[in-house]
């Protein structure tokens, strides 16, 4: 349990997240308008999205399918009966004056996410529900000095609101939750998880309490659009609440906004309750009834998800929990690793992918697995040269850098630069014999018990061979002759 130490004793965070995930679909939840990101303002707006009189919503089957697949991926209960309701509130970018959402009867019920924590441990966080709803439009306040502009391209886009239980106890756990949820959504192909484009946004519900006490009053920080900002907003809000509570104040149940550029938050409005929205079943939409065999058919088509893949990597490849977790976090990375690991030492491959390869990707602007100068075949070729003793692990790092810069394969670079490791026993034996003959003092010290001197002898052989000697063979030869 993570606690914050205040002046009057420890405090515990209680965190729940509401994630709005935009469904991958070519059209909106109740209209045929397009959903392409970055289109000209108001160029993807149907008469339904603009709330023109007499326009009726028609459910998008693809949106329903994506929600059910997501529910299955979250090990959640799929409700065969669900209902759309009107959530009534006024805002300039909400043309209807209400949002079509789900309240009493959501499409997905309780489920579970397993968090992968940095210490290699895991813990479960409950999912309360997943419901479908349409997005609102967007108000632009920075286009004109006295007027706000409205872009309705987003109006009516399908959102899945995924509500967690208040099971998280630290900013780190909230970050792990969002990373895992995004990974599952991407594996399923139901949301692209691009928080910078607004297709995944989080509302943070947070309260503070003394460890073991009942839940405190919570605040909600709205529309946080990066994992880092979610964690920052949690730390900030936790400290703010502790200061108020320790001074004898009370927490106002309110909605707040986090300003990432300033690292501050401010009150937005008092927190509404469900009755404030005057929910009632949408009279234009019949209840949604889905068939159990259709749900089963979708379940049978699900891909291998991160938790199952992680376990398989540990079982089949003998990878430690950390390596397996890193490699399966992204579906493309996992596929890349499996391609390179085919027929090779899986731990050696994992070390190279997680270490040198990820490092090169991170420092190369715009590089990704699809366009990197070293592909799976080239990385595999480099690892083969290490495995068969052609080059040492140390030389391999030099070769990899040259591969990354030039796009050439490993064997070409080794040939061009003359980096082939000397593994000829006869050649190495001659160098070792000469070294022993030239350094009787060091030989005496070694035999007198200073076994660490073996490192000095190895270094001298490497120096004599310009680093090309096979260090394993050098060690064996030296120990044999010195002992």
Across 313-332, average pLDDT: 95
| pLDDT at residue 351 tops 90 | yes
Q: What is the pLDDT of residues 438-465, one digit of tens each?
A: 888 887 887 877 778 788 887 887 887 7
The DSSP string of 268-299 is EEEPPPGGGGT-EE-TTSPPEE--HHHHHHHH
Residue 459: which H helix or E strand, with range? helix 454-464
Specify the pLDDT at position 424: 62
Say if strands 111-116 and 98-101 run parallel, antiparallel, or are unpaired.
Answer: unpaired
Q: How far apart are CA 482 and CA 449, in angstroms?
A: 12
Specify the pLDDT at position 437: 82
Across 21-42, average pLDDT: 96
Binned at pLDDT 50, 70 and 90, residue 1 comes out as low
Q: How far apart are CA 300 and CA 25, in angstroms?
A: 21
Q: What is the pLDDT of residues 215-270, one digit of tens each?
A: 999 999 999 999 999 999 999 999 999 999 999 999 999 999 999 999 999 998 88
Across 80-109, average pLDDT: 96
Out of 301-305, 309-313, 350-354, 434-438, least confident range: 434-438
Where b means 16+ CB within 10 Å and e means fewer, 167-193 reads bbbbbbbbbbbbbbbbbbbbbbebbbb
| pLDDT at residue 472 tops 80 | no
Specify the pLDDT at position 199: 93
Say what percent of the chain tops pLDDT 90.
Answer: 75
Binned at pLDDT 50, 70 and 90, residue 423 comes out as low
Q: How far apart are CA 364 and CA 404, in angstroms?
A: 10
| Chain centroid, CA 397 distance in Å | 28
Say what percent of the chain tops pLDDT 70.
Answer: 99
Specify the pLDDT at position 210: 95
What's phi and psi for 258, nearest 5 deg?
-100, 125
Q: How far apart are CA 298 and CA 190, in angstroms?
A: 13
Binned at pLDDT 50, 70 and 90, residue 121 comes out as confident
- Calculate the average pLDDT of the chain: 92
Record the tokens describing residue 294, joined without a space.
């259709």
Q: What angle do CA 358, 362, 365 make, to 5 degrees?
A: 135
| pLDDT at residue 272 tops 90 | no
Q: What is the pLDDT of residues 356-386, one digit of tens each?
A: 999 999 999 989 999 999 999 999 999 999 9
DSSP state of 199: S
Domains with residue ranges and CATH for the chain? 4-298 (no CATH), 304-417 (no CATH), 425-482 (1.10.10.410)
| Chain centroid, CA 229 distance in Å | 14
Record the tokens describing residue 475, joined without a space.
């060690």
pTM value is: 0.88
Instruction: Classify residue 340 as left (phi > 0), alpha (psi -120 to 50) or beta.
Output: alpha
Helix runs in 284-424, H state only? 292-300, 306-317, 321-328, 331-341, 346-352, 358-363, 376-387, 393-406, 410-417
Binned at pLDDT 50, 70 and 90, residue 411 comes out as very high
Q: How far apart are CA 390 and CA 388, in angstroms?
A: 6
Which of 130, 144, 46 minimizes the C-alpha distance to 96? 46
């Amino acid at each position: 349990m993570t606690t914050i130490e205040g002046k009057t004793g420890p405090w515990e965070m209680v965190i729940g997240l509401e994630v709005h995930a935009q469904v991958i679909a070519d059209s909106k939840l109740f209209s045929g308008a397009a959903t392409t990101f970055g289109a000209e303002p108001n160029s993807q707006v149907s008469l339904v999205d603009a709330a023109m009189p007499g326009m009726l919503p028609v459910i998008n089957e693809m949106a329903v399918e994506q929600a059910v697949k997501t529910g299955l991926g979250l090990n959640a209960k799929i409700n065969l009966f669900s209902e759309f309701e009107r959530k009534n509130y006024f805002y300039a970018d909400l043309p209807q004056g209400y949002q079509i959402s789900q309240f009493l009867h959501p499409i997905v019920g309780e489920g579970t996410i397993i968090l992968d924590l940095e210490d290699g441990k895991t813990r479960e966080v409950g999912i309360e529900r997943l419901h479908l709803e349409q997005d609102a439009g967007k108000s632009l306040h920075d286009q004109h000095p006295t007027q706000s502009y409205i872009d309705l391209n987003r109006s009516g886009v399908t959102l899945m609101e995924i509500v967690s239980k208040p099971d998280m106890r630290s900013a780190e756990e909230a970050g792990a939750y969002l990373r895992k949820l995004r990974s599952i959504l991407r594996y399923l192909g139901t949301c692209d998880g691009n928080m910078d484009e607004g297709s995944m946004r989080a509302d943070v519900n947070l309260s503070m309490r003394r460890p073991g006490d009942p839940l405190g009053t919570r605040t909600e920080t709205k529309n946080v659009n990066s994992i880092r900002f979610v964690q920052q907003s949690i730390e900030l809000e936790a400290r703010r609440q502790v200061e108020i509570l320790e001074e004898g104040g009370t927490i106002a149940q309110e909605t707040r906004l986090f300003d990432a550029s300033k690292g501050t938050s401010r009150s937005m409005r008092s927190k509404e309750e469900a009755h404030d929205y005057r929910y009632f079943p949408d009279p234009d939409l019949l209840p949604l009834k889905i068939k159990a065999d259709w749900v089963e058919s979708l379940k049978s088509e699900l891909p291998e998800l991160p938790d199952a893949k992680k376990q398989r990597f540990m079982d089949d490849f003998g990878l430690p929990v950390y390596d397996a977790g890193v490699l399966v976090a992204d579906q493309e990375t996992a596929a890349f690793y499996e391609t390179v690991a085919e027929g090779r030492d899986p731990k050696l491959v994992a070390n190279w992918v997680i270490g040198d390869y990820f490092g090169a990707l991170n420092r190369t602007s715009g590089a990704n697995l699809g366009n990197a100068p070293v592909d799976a075949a080239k990385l595999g070729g480099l690892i083969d040269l290490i495995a068969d003793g052609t080059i040492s692990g140390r030389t391999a790092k030099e070769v990899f850098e040259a591969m990354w810069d030039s796009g050439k394969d490993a064997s070409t670079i080794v040939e061009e630069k003359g980096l082939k490791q000397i593994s000829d026993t006869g050649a190495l034996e001659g160098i070792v014999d000469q070294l022993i003959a030239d350094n009787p003092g060091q030989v005496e010290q070694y035999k007198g018990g200073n076994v660490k001197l073996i490192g000095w002898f190895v270094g001298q052989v490497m120096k004599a061979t310009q680093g090309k000697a096979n260090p394993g063979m050098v060690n064996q030869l030296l120990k044999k002759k010195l002992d």
